[in-house]
Structure 1
């Protein structure tokens, strides 16, 4: 709940430190004293738009700080703060602060850590609900009606969300698989053509290198064929160098014994014959190895060019073509297997969808029953609040399937008819300012506000009523504040008398300087303020006696 509000230089407030307690707190004061300034200041620290006009005249900066304390930090606030890397220790107060410059610039802080204003706005609904005559949020906004009805009914919304998420996940898996199979089926003819083309050419691992080497050898033989032919002619025939060496060796052999040098010459000549013979053999072998077959060369070149062309077509290396064949076969197999997978995924999606529908229809029945109970509870609150001619109805309408979601298949809205025979319409479209505030109070009491904001503020909910109606409003505000915190800005002495704490707002002037201040009243001052509210400018003994009776009556 809100335990402290500190304001500096906001409009007419120069410096103000207010401490609040649990239960019902009332704020009173003469018209124009500045009650709206307090609400504007609180709204600023809760993330409302920063208006430069809020800065007190003659000052360059204003600030507002609000302290909240909890037995246990609400889960929604804890999650939001955790996402912003703000951790609160158990029992540590939550302190929101906003500074505003005269030029309109502002800064926001949570426990002295700078944050964006959007974070203040995100946690504000869990901290404070402000209900006034021009309120367009809270109970007036249809967006929150479904959650309020579910809390009234005791519905665990997370269960519905988990079933919805399971259904959507199943549908997403089916959609992805269907798209994959449809794409594969569209490419099936092309895959078959690719596979047939590769099967016809039958690429082999390492084939490109072997063909390239064979082609290079045959091209080299073609280039060297002339030189080899000349060498062959030189080595062949009776007058070839080798034949001449052999003739010389035979003649020398006949006379080698005549002198040692002739024997050495014969040995050298024999070696030359041997070397020349080896040279002849190698030339012959080289000629065989480099033989040039134009048809074979053409076949090798054609095969090599075909392999490289198909590799370029599939954006891969020649040695990867065999892998491409396996890839295409796998894709074709996946088409057949994908169709079977689709059937299984479609069944799973149907089962998940049926589970969602079953849970959502059950939730619809719970909501319809809870709506009837809520309507009856609100109806019981209307007559004492001078709304006896009005009717309240909770509309629970099943949405078309495209609008279903994690909260089920229903749209929920609170509707009213203020006159007999009039059609039901949204709260803020029909009720006048005073009526709207009383409708909200009736609804709040009927809901018992399970899981609502830590602090509720009602701004002049008693405007335009008095007597028994004002007493009924005060009694319901007091009941609503049990175990929590309700603050009410009021002009009604019957409502003010119900307050556990009572603050009075004063406006004073010194020359051209006007200030607003707020004072927590003790018992005697409280009696005097209620007497003033009863009698006006001059407080009479009768008014004081009536104030005593009001205070004793509560």
Structure 2
């Protein structure tokens, strides 16, 4: 639930900090005092687009900070862990709105995107504005509300998954059907593969080919270099490095007794002699393998030329010809199997459609059960809200089942009859704003009772009602407050009297600027505020007595 909300330089609020507890908290004040600013602040903390007009005049930025207790919301705790925002069970949302139109957001002190802010806030708080009932006029919203009420997400996920599978198979079939006669493509691929398969395209084979070609191309120079090196190392013609090294070691050994360090030099020269011997042996092997072979060079040159020709033809490097060959082979196999695959696809499509039908039927049955429960609950509520004899129905209308629909096999239509004896009509055709407001509130109260969101915010959803109906609305909101935290901005004393706590928003002109302040009311102040709401500017004894009676009649 929401524990604390802090505002700074937000609209006409210089600074304010509010603490909230469980149950129902009401917020009241004179018209224009800024009662809905608290709701606006929560909206921005829930990811609404930044509005530079909400920055207090003369300030550079507005700062909003909300602290929640997520302990009763496992989904929020899991989200914090998955997104790496978890901080020992804490949950704070912070956002700044700059006067230049920019904004920044943080979750538990770490920078966050507006999308992340909206995702987390959606698990913690749900805001219902005084014009929100307009959304209920859309059929898509009505179906979504019914599914939320019935907790149909598992069934709906199954319907979406099977519909997606069907669509994927249908696209594959259409793609295969569009290919038409592929015999020419098969012939071309067969020819290309035959050319490629005649060559050894393994990378190591190509490297060996290039090295052999280079060796044959420079065979004469390599032979001369090897002969010269061998003669210089240990040849019989003239002085050699090996004999010269032996002479040097002999001369030093005669003086070894006079200078012990010469022993270290002799050891080094001995190692050098061993290295020279090994070099001579390796050089001899290389020389023995070298041979000027024009026929071999011609064969290597022809093979390398074919590889370069294939590389130019397929526009790839020689080392990539093997991958090109594999691609051609895969495409050829797919084309050869296209007819078989096309014939089998229809059976898979039919089976997929059958799976969707089964999932859609299960969802449809769940929706029918939920529709009956929501209809009964809302009908009972609208009767209590001054529409005796009124009826609310959730009608399920089948849609064309020609193809699997990810939303299921039906759509929902909310119907209402405001008076006994009148046939129910679509909610969107209810002419009276007051009736629409009451029906919408009844739907919200009936549906939200099972919502997992811990904090519900109502911004003057009681607009257009009064008297005994207003008192019943207050009672329903108070009852909802027993199951979750309820924040309610209201202008009705009958609703305000039902709150477990009461905040007053007031405004005053100071230094030529309008400023709003928010403060909690004690029992005496609360009675005075209710009297003002009842009696207007001049608060009479009768208004105070009526306010006292309202408070006294509040029961859980």
Q: What TM-score do the two structures reach when normalised by structure 1? A: 0.69
Partner of 2:267: none
Structure 1 325/39 Cα, relative in aligned 2: closer, same or farther at 3 Å?
closer
Structure 1 199/121 Cα, relative in aligned 2: closer, same or farther at 3 Å?
closer
Q: CA deviation at 1:314?
A: 7.3
Q: CA deviation at 1:442?
A: 0.6
Q: Deviations over 1:92-130 (max 9, x none)?
A: 2x2222212223222222222222333333444433333
Q: Which region of structure 1 is more displaced relative to structure 2, 2-11 or 358-367?
A: 358-367
Q: Distance in 2 between matches of 1:514 and 1:423?
A: 49
Partner of 2:355: 355
Q: Distance in 2 between matches of 1:134 and 1:448?
A: 17
Q: Which runs of 5+ in 2 are unaligned?
A: 202-208, 210-294, 296-302
Q: Which region of structure 1 is more displaced relative to structure 2, 43-52 or 160-169?
A: 160-169
Q: Deviations over 1:367-387 (max 9, x none)?
A: 133213322221111122123
Partner of 1:172: 168
Q: What TM-score do the two structures reach when normalised by structure 2? A: 0.68
Q: Is the 8 A contact 2:6 2:64 kept in 1?
A: yes
Partner of 1:112: 109
Q: Which region of structure 1 is more displaced relative to structure 2, 123-132 or 329-338?
A: 329-338
Task: List aligned pairs for 1:79-478, cutoff 5 A.
Answer: 85-89=83-87, 91-92=89-90, 94-135=91-132, 139=136, 142-155=139-152, 157-162=153-158, 164-166=160-162, 168-169=164-165, 172=168, 175-176=171-172, 179=175, 183=179, 186-189=181-184, 191-192=186-187, 315=314, 337-388=337-388, 391-401=391-401, 404-416=404-416, 418=418, 424-427=425-428, 430=430, 433-478=433-478
Q: Distance in 1 between matches of 2:54 and 2:194?
A: 82
Q: Distance in 2 between matches of 1:204 and 1:498?
A: 89
Q: Distance in 1 between matches of 2:28 and 2:413?
A: 34
Q: Which region of structure 1 is more displaced relative to structure 2, 544-553 or 120-129?
A: 120-129
Q: Is the 8 A contact 2:413 2:426 kept in 1?
A: no
Q: CA deviation at 1:5?
A: 1.0
Q: CA deviation at 1:405?
A: 4.3
Partner of 1:254: none
Q: Distance in 1 between matches of 2:193 and 2:493?
A: 96
Q: CA deviation at 1:519?
A: 1.6
Q: Is the 8 A contact 1:167 1:349 kept in 2?
A: no
Q: CA deviation at 1:173?
A: 5.2
Structure 1 137/193 Cα, relative in aligned 2: closer, same or farther at 3 Å?
same
Structure 1 506/361 Cα, relative in aligned 2: closer, same or farther at 3 Å?
same
Q: Distance in 2 between matches of 1:350 and 1:36?
A: 55
Q: Which region of structure 1 is more displaced relative to structure 2, 17-26 or 120-129?
A: 120-129
Q: CA deviation at 1:193?
A: 7.6
Structure 1 47/141 Cα, relative in aligned 2: closer, same or farther at 3 Å?
farther
Q: 1:146 aligns to what SS in structure 2?
A: helix
Structure 1 526/353 Cα, relative in aligned 2: closer, same or farther at 3 Å?
same
Aligned length: 453
Q: 1:8 aligns to what SS in structure 2?
A: strand
Partner of 1:262: none
Q: CA deviation at 1:411?
A: 2.5
Considering only CA atoms, is the larger Rg found in Structure 1 or Structure 2? Answer: 1
Q: Is the 8 A contact 1:33 1:505 kept in 2?
A: yes
Partner of 2:530: 530
Does residue 479 of structure 2 align to residue 482 of structure 1? no
Q: CA deviation at 1:164?
A: 3.8
Partner of 1:73: 73
Q: CA deviation at 1:457?
A: 1.9
Q: Which runs of 5+ in 1 are unaligned?
A: 210-289, 291-303
Q: Deviations over 1:369-424 (max 9, x none)?
A: 32133222211111221234754332323333578544423323434455775873
Partner of 2:10: 10
Q: Distance in 2 between matches of 1:193 and 1:490?
A: 78
Q: Which region of structure 1 is more displaced relative to structure 2, 17-26 or 402-411?
A: 402-411
Q: 1:186 aligns to what SS in structure 2?
A: coil
Structure 1 154/317 Cα, relative in aligned 2: closer, same or farther at 3 Å?
closer
Q: Is the 8 A contact 1:456 1:486 kept in 2?
A: yes
Q: CA deviation at 1:499?
A: 0.7
Q: Is the 8 A contact 1:163 1:352 kept in 2?
A: no
Q: Distance in 2 between matches of 1:324 and 1:457?
A: 62
Q: 2:36 aligns to what SS in structure 1?
A: helix
RMSD over aligned Cα atoms? 4.4
Q: CA deviation at 1:324?
A: 11
Partner of 1:235: none
Q: Distance in 2 between matches of 1:309 and 1:10?
A: 72
Partner of 1:52: 52
Q: Deviations over 1:202-228 (max 9, x none)?
A: 97999xx9xxxxxxxxxxxxxxxxxxx
